[in-house]
Structure formats: structure tokens, C-alpha cells
Structure 1
């Protein structure tokens, strides 16, 4: 007896659950305002006879209708427009039917041709209708067709205003038994399509045999009609004999502008919130519709505009239990003791009682099983991960450079938001560079190589660590550390925020963005960095891939040389090394390309191409006339006295002939085909530093005429660079040595 209350409680709970599952929610009937006033502007007549007049249509006052949409209501009959010629009767304006929005139905005369053969006078009546006075309207080409009814009927339609088209069809039959009800296939009835953008037409119907072959159908008829609502039968022959007019569907639109042109203007018609604009498919203009989940008049900016549809008030409700109306949509839910999506056309709501005990037992068993397996798997993965990290650390040369910071893979994943796509700074053939933020808020650049089994790519990353760990120069991107415990090592650099030099010279909309003074200064900084690599580093370094995409600019447009994956450390007692060809086409030293032997003069040639890029703003390889190489084209222009033709316009505007000739002469020496004729990188750096100092202390734009003439006269007897160096040395103090940060 002590357990009876518990059994009673369970029994009552089961009954409640089962009752809840079996009893659907009773939906309330929808509250829909069917009055015509909700379609018209406030204070305007909303109906004419039985025709509802929705805005932009309106009657009487200009306040009540949009331009070209006036309705004349006479004796309870609606007509398009007002005055002589505006006698087209309106039957219905289809506004609240989504697939018929932008259409209305009017009446037009039926063309007829009769020959009674009983002495009665023949009838031959054509029909025409012209909408040119109503430019907002066109005959709907996708809803209307030319319909010809008769057993000897040749009907045609043409433009009454312009001879732009003509089409028609012929219907023939001899006996009423051949006429098939419900189809207009050529026996007693035929159809023909009409073109788009049709604003007027003329209908003519004739008889080829004067109806002599058909005694039961002495008349033929031609009219436009909606073929989908046409119900042709044998009775149609007599039906149209008593009718003068037939309904035809018109398309209408707000004229003269597309959605894109009208949006944002003062007369844009789609004023209701939750409305959108669509371009007309039949001639110019646009229409407005309510967005999904809303209903009303999109042309009204008040309570009668597009308002939310309360789907939950529909009968039946779209939900079987609980319905929640939302702005423009709805959602369904089930009570706590049921499960499912709650949708009437979905899985609905089902009681959980039948699976409660089973799921509880299975769930507890699975919980303990998963917990034990997960714990064992976690121990296994942690051990394997440690072994894998140690393997990669040894493979990637972790013991070679113990003096640089080693980042963990977890640190770099957190800094780059798990290598989020939005953090990508740049991508290349061997890897991707991500922007990272350390916990101390310092911004870094993470170079992550693509996963590869190529040991050469791994060695390239290790080589870059070796090179950059020995270099500390203000114009060389700083290596902060690396991560060696992943399959392919990752490098961590200082963050250089202003992108590559190539972006500033060739990027979309960036052409001409750098001043001549900035170009000379940047080239001087790059030359200084390369001079340091060649001459001042503890072990000389040859970069082997000098190009504008490997030169970064910080927020002050200070140059930073980067990407030392192809670089080589050169012992002091070796003048050149032989290797596989490495570099980028357009920047590659021709001598190195032919012999396979690279020296520091190979970097000088590549730098010469960079200097020419800065002076000309052109890419190193492009289809220009018959020449595809910028260096060759530049040398040809200089040698033929056409230097100004190839220089960028801003460079010519901001420079003087002396400065431009000096820079061009230096570039020419760097681009010498024989490496022995090229200057050393430190000589290049000194000349560019002199040019930079001269432009700062004595701007070229302020050189007086006498001084300019003096310089030009010196150019005639010696090289431009020699004249410039002599002029600089006579006007400024001796140049201080290059500042090298160690």
C-alpha cells in the first residue's frame, strides 16, 4: 500500500503525456482585414463599383494616384485615365495575388466576320486598342495570346501605330463533331503569341471560303485573351455572337527608371518598410513587392504598407502544438515532454514516454563507455603528440639554433585564431603568411609552409632561420622566432603593416602613389640592406631573390627586405658558388642563368630591375612591343635617348633631367650583362644615399637656372652620376657611414 501514491502519479503522468500527444492545438481563425480601404491612400476613394483601386492607382485627386495611374470612375465603372480617348474599361486590378502583381484586366472589342448565307447582310468588324496615351501599361505577352474562333477563320494582329510586327493563325472545321471541347488546337479555335512591349494593336478576321463549308458557324471572331483561363467549347461559337468585348490582361509598371536608377531618389515608389523593388519584364519600369513573410501595399508608407503576416493565426496552423510568430516568419516548438520540429508538414511533436526508459539506460551505458574510451584515447594522443613534436623538432633542425625563441604550435594557433582565413596577409607558392596577435598584444607575422613531403622545402625554411638569425639590420625584416614541432617548420617575423613594394607600385589604383623622393629613399634603404648582407655581415649573404614582392613597407614606408628562403651564406674565401637556378624570371641575372654560378653581383642585377620598376612603374615582364623583358626595354630606351618615354609620369614631373639621368645611369650599370662591369652593392648604396641626401637638403624643384645649366653642361662631358656626386660633395658635408643595427 505504501507504493500506491507513486504508481498513481506515474499513471496520471502517462495519461497527461498521451493526451498531450493526441490533442492537436486548435488554431484560431486568421484575422485578416479584407476592406478595400487598406489598399488606397488615406482619404481616397478605394472602390469604383466592384473594382478595388489600390495605390498607386487612384480616383479624382492627384494626391490619391501616382503619375499615369489615374482611374476615372463614371456611374460605377472604372476607366483608365480621363478625357477623350480614355475609354478603356477596367475589370479588375490584381494586387493581392503575388504571382499576378503588376497586372490588371480591361475589356477590349472583339473583331468579327460573318456571312450568314440566308440573305442577311454580312458583318466585317475589326477591333483596335491603343495604350500610347497610357505609357505605364503594356499588353501582357506571357498571359495573353491572339485567339481566333471559327470554322473558316483567318485572324491576324498587327501594330496599329507602327508596322513593327504582324502575326496570326487559321482555324478550320467542317462539322461540329470534330470540335473538341476544352482545347484550342486549330479545329474551330487557334492561338498565336504576341510580342513583348506591345502598347497598341489592330485585330482583323477574314474568311477564306466565305464560311461556305460550315453552316453551324457562320461567324469568325478574333480577340486577345488569357489562354490559361480560356475554356473553348462548341458553345463558344454562339457565346461570342452576343458579346462585343472580351477581357485582356495588361502589365503595368512605374515608368522611365530601373530599380537601380530610381532607388534613393525622391520619387522612389517602394516606400513601405519590408518591401523590395523588381524590374519590369515587359518594357521599361519597375514594380514593388512585399518581402517574404509580409503582406500589404508596398507603395504605402503607413499601417497599410507591408506588415507582418501572422502565420500562427492561419487555419490550420503550420505548427501542431506551439506556434511563435516572428517578424517576417514563424517558428514551432514542442512541450518539454515531447520532441520533434513541431511542423505540421514535418516530424511534428511526439511523446518521449516510449523511449524515456530505454534512452536513459542506453545513455548511461554510453556515457560511461565514452568516458573510459575518451580518457584512454586522450592519454594515447598526448603521448603520440609528444613523440611527433619531438620528431619534427629534430627533423627541422631544432638543435641547430638554440639561441632564437621557439614558439609552440599552440601559441601560434591561438595567435592566428587557428589560422583563420581573415588573418591571411599573403600567399605564395611555398606557403601562407598570417597575421597573429600574441597575449602581450604584440602583432606578428606567421609564415606557414604548405604541407609537403619535399625535403627541399623543409630545408628552405631551415635555411631562412639560419640566415635571418645572423642578421640584425633596420631594413631587413626581423625574425622573432620559429616553431619546429610541426610537420613543416613555421617562422615568426615582426609585423610590417604596409604591404609589399610591388603593391604600392603596381597595385590596383596605386599607380603613381609614391613620390620620386620616396622611391629614391626606398631604393637607398634596400641597397643599404643588401650592402650590409654582402659586406658587413659576419658571414656574407647572397639573397638570390631580390624583387619588389620581397620588399615590405612599414607605416612610415620604410623598406624591409624579406624572404630569405633561397639565400646562401657565402664563406669569405669563395667568390662564387654553383647551384640550381633559383630566382624569379625578369629579375634573374643573365650570367647566372647561363653559367649556374651566382655571386653578390647577381643581387646587384636583381636590384637594378627593382630600381627600374620604381622609375618606370612597369612590371619586370610584360608584353611590350616585341620585347618582353623590362630591363632590356629600359636599356634600349636609354641608349636611344628615349629615357623620358619609359619613365612614369609622376617621376618625370617631380624630377630634373640631372636626377633622372643619374638614377638611370646607375640602373644601367647594375643591369650590365657582364658582372664585372656592375658596381658593388656598397657603391650602389653610397650613390643612392647621396641622391637621397641631395633631394632632402637641396630639392630639385628649387634649382635655379644657372645651377641647372651648370649641371647640364657637366653632363655633356662626364657621366650623370659623376656630375651629381661632384655637386653633392660640394654642397653638403661628407656622408656619414651607413648605420647598421646589430
Structure 2
């Protein structure tokens, strides 16, 4: 009985062993740091032969970083990741390693001869142009002036043209260098700060993030070699100064063209096809068996991710997650969803890995998180870098926010000087969150309602720039739609809009996020000045109601009679009161919220008091 069960499994293995004898051995893998370099890439070394595509030889610098040297001035590009299944390579200019936050100093225009090179740029890339050390101001409409450029001196200025700068060669006589650099298009879209300037450090971060190259498979001389059953590569001449010549590695030995069709190879191909067919039948049966045993939500998630393959970020295995977190060594936080751990990608970038604890549901929150945030690209929205879906193991990999959440600073119970933020900083954070929500509500291809805006879900980067995170409860709707249908109340008590609880208050829409935002801003105001709250009757009264009645006194006391700060405090309070109106139609849109915060307080009127009851 046992023999009859194992015989079908044993036969394909015997077939594969026959194929292994009939076909040439594969090119061996090589290691460089924590990256594995495999065919068609190869490491340049002093051996007698190298197996791989022309132009895809890598140098392992300091035994840690694979580096691609392109023909243009023999310039070096760091290789951060190779996706062998999609034939793509993530690289960055080695000159971007210089730690100039405001202005990376690049020197080489990347040009690729598509007629001879196996590499080419991808559709995800977009160009920007640097103008270094210019003797006069640049009048380009979208030019951003940069600071901190290497080689700059008094009287000289440097610029970046984010639109690509076609025609910028006209400024070559005015500037020491004009360098065109490819970057990731999605990264570029979210780098803009205040009008006319890039976000702090964004240009350097964008260039260091690099761009994508694609390599052609099975083309030219290599294609002929591979179709004949061989592996293409090079051999070093022993007499011609070590010159390299193309070689096709075959089972009968290396040739200068392609492998011969020996009976042994033909027999191996036939056996291989038979084995593949047998394995295909077994694999189909195994997959069918596994799919029947899986939970109902897993096929749904997998199907959705496959249909939206170009939308979601890189998928990692659970082994990758354990490796990047060093087996979950550093825990950043804990919540109802699970825990967050600190980690590092293979390129050294720090990340925050959120491990989802509850995998018993239908997977809606996981799909929402991956799909919602993958549709966004904004300086005030946290970047999702990858995810893991492997059985019951689910993880989301975000950019690392060194200053943690807003709750840590604005709502600390101790409110020590270390964790306390100034009124100016709180105001900047309030505007940043408003811009992020405005983008979600009207700036995306698909509108996104977050449904869980609260201090814990606002993360702060090294510059205290706020980024909205945690899209597990988010809902998507078409641009022209405003009302949203939901299965039940969602969100956090204290921040949930009335209409989410009961339809008698109105329809659920983007205005539900406006309410949560208003409650958070008013809480920021109240938490910032605990002394005023403790010494007043507000401690025993609903704070928004109390502050409505004592607005002027509170603003002066909280700001210690500083005119500019008084205006900031007043703006936050009045905008917050408008946002928490009970009826959704009485609340402003997030676009209007941004306008009120950026405008003058003289144009701000208090909302009707009756709506606060």
C-alpha cells in the first residue's frame, strides 16, 4: 500500500535525476554581503570563466555591496535588490552616498545604448535635472533652489528641475554642470513641500532611493546559447592580456557559439518534458488539496493581490521578515492589531514591521491596508514598502518613523519637557495632517476615507513631519461618490463621528474623517496646556463646550500673551469646533480646513453653539 502511494512521487524524482545528467550544470550562485548573485548576473573575479549575461557583471565592494559599473565613464551604481522573476534591478548612483541632505552631488548623466546593452530603464522611472553652481538665477518655472551642494561657493547657486528639465541644456553656459538623473516616479510625486520648495531632505532621499532597471532575457547571442541548452558567459584569455570572449557553457564543454544537439541532450529534453508533465499533474493535485483546506479568506486575498499586482508593493516571505527584524529583537509598540518591530532592509534602510495578530477574520483589514496605502503617494502619508502573506503570517513593512506617534508627544501623561511640543510645532503638525487627509479625500485616483484618525495613528519623522498611518479600517469609493456604505460602527471611541453610530445624523462620508480630525486637534490644544485645564472649571465640563465659552481668555493664557502664538491657538480651536459639528453638512471639507488654518484669524467665525450640545 505504502509503495503504491510513493511510487508516483518517486518516478518524477528519477526523471529529474536523468535530466540532471543530460543537461549542463547550472551556473553557481555567488554571495556579496547579504545578497545572492545568480545567473544571469555574475561577480567579476580573476577566475578563468564567468557565467552570465554581457554587461551584468557585478563588483562586490568591501565584500558587502554589489556594484554595477556602466560604460559611461565607468560609473558605479549600487545594486540594492534583484528581482529575478520580473527581470528588474533596483540601483542608485554611487555618488548619492555622500551625506548631503539638501543636495546630492551627482556627476554623470546615465545613458544606455539599447542596441548593445541588456539593461534599460523602466516605466516606473522619471527624470529630474540638477543645475550645479550657476552664476545667475534660473528662471525655469518649476526650478527649486538647493543648498548644501558640494563644490558650491559664494555667489553660485544650484537648482533641481523636477519636471525633467527638457531644454535645460540652454543653461549649460551659466552653470558648471547639468546632470540628468533617473528617479522613481512615485517617490518624486510625494516630495513637494511648501510651494516652490522640496520637502526637507527629500531630494537627497529620493536620489538615494535610486531607480529601476530591467534586463532582457533570452536575447541576442545569449538567447541562442540558452535555446540550445547552454548557459552564456565569458572566458578570460590566457594570452591576450586577460581579454574576455563570449562563451556558451554546454554539457560537452564550452563553445564559442551554441551547444550541439547531441542524442544525449535530446533524450534529456524528452525525459525532462515527461518529468515536468508528471510533476505538473502532481502539483495540480497538491494545489487543489491545499486550496480545499485553506481558510476561505486566503484565496480571496491571493486572488485580489494577483489581479492588482502592479498596485501593491514588494511581497516578502516570513523568513525575510525574521531576517530584517533579527527575529523580532527590537519591539517598538503594541496594539490591538499586534506588535510593531524595528528592522532593516538589505540596503540598510530602517523599517517598522507590523505583525498582525488576529488572522481569524475574512482578511478585509489586511486587504484595506495594502491596497489603500498603495494608492497613495504624499509627504503626509506613511509609505508602505512591502508586506508578507504566508499562511497565517501577515506583516506590513513601513518606512521607519524615529519620533514615534503624535500620542507620545502631545498626549504624554508626564508632559516632560522632552516630550512637550511647542505651539508652533503642534500647529505645523495640524496643518500636515489636514493636507494628508485632503489628499486622501480628493487627491487620490480613488477617494479614501480613513475612519480611524487619532493621535496613535499619526507618525512623526525625524523632522516631526506628520504622516497618517494604519489604513486597516479605510474604505475606498469612486471620485464622484460622497456617501459610503459600511457594515457597522468603525473607529476609536471619542473620535467616531455621530453618523457612523446612527443614520439619523446623516450619511457616512469623508466628513466622518473631518469630525475625527477636529476632535484630535481640540485634544491637542487641551493636552498642550494641562495647567490651564487643571486650574479651571473645564476639568469637570465637556472641553469643547467650555472652550467655546472661554475662547479669548484661554488663547491669551495658553500663549502667555504672545500675539503670533495666540493667533495659532485660536485658529486650531475655531477650526476644531467647526470640524466637530454634529450634522455632517455643517462641517467643512478638508480643503476648507487647510484654507482656514493657512488664512487669517480675522476671517474665522465661531460655528453655531447649538450644534455642540
Q: TM-score range by the shorter chain?
A: 0.3 to 0.5
Larger relative helix fraction: 2
The structure with the larger Rg is 1
> Per chain length, whose mean CA-contact separation is higher, i.e. which structure has more relative contact order (CA < 8 Å, sep 6+)?
2
TM-score of the aligned structures, taking structure 2 as reference length: 0.45
